[in-house]
Structure 1
Amino acid sequence: MADNVENPEELPSIASELATEHPDVWDAYADLGEACSDAGPVDGETKRLVKLALAIGAQSEGAVHSHVRRALDEGVDPDALRHVALLGIPTIGFPKSMAAVTWIDDLTE
């Protein structure tokens, strides 16, 4: 399994099931994520914030939680995570951004 992917036991249940039942698919997915991460000059914290922003824009609560957990593990300031959600207000709207704030707060408060 690629280094940048959590152990299957630590994944949300549906991802854990996929990793356990189809490890070759999971490994290919993890390798793609690693290749995309390594494809350019963006630093680690910035990548994490960008991925959080993409998850917020996609309105994926599970992905927001995943990126917040990883960001916190990597030492990203919780205020920076909330700031990402606030930056979405002019683009995706107040309600969607506020939903993202609540998802971030699920793990930071």
Structure 2
Amino acid sequence: MNDYFDNLDEIEKNLKYFITNHREIYESYENFGKLVHEKGGPLDEKTRWLIKVALSADCQNEYSLTTHIKKAFCGGCTKEEIEHALLLVAPTAGFPKMMKGLLVLRNILEQDNK
């Protein structure tokens, strides 16, 4: 999957820089995200990850989309559920965003099969 992102190394280097130089802010941000995810409301784990997958596809943030798809799998989502979440992006956010999301999903599955 790393081949899919031309700038993956730069993204990871930048995140490492941010964590190293702004640890307290990073930890606060991480804690906020965890609290919203776990304590923000009544949605079950799978539903929360599927929403995050769809939002990441809409934002076209491939790094976040990859992370959220992988976490959705870890959270118990099936390939079919993740694909459905991506298909739901098309009517609201646009067909190209959905297609790009499907490409990311397919690349993750392809890498996992290697």
**In which range does the TM-score fall when normalised by the shorter chain?**
0.7 to 0.9
Report how many residues are paired: 99
- What residue in structure 2 maps to residue 5 of structure 1? none
Q: Secondary structure at the match of 1:81?
A: helix
- What residue in structure 2 maps to residue 20 of structure 1? 20
Alpha-carbon offset, residue 103 of structure 1: 1.0
Cα-to-partner distance string for 1:2-61 (whole Å, 9 max, x where unaligned): xxxxxxxxx944323322332111111011112212121111111000111111111111
Alpha-carbon offset, residue 73 of structure 1: 2.1
AA in 2 matched with 1:80: E
Q: Secondary structure at the match of 2:66?
A: helix
- What residue in structure 2 maps to residue 32 of structure 1? 32
Deviates more, 1:66-75 or 1:45-54: 66-75
Larger relative contact order (CA 8 Å, sep ≥ 6): 2
**Does 1:63 pair with 2:97?**
no
Alpha-carbon offset, residue 107 of structure 1: 0.9
TM-score, normalization: structure 2?
Answer: 0.77
Paired residues of 2:49 and 2:75 also in contact (CA < 8 A): no
The alignment-based identity, stated in percent, is 28
Deviates more, 1:41-50 or 1:86-95: 86-95
Q: Secondary structure at the match of 1:41?
A: coil
Give the unaligned 5+ runs of structure 1.
1-10
TM-score, normalization: structure 1?
Answer: 0.80
Q: CA RMSD in A?
A: 1.7
Q: Which one has the bigger helix percentage?
A: 2
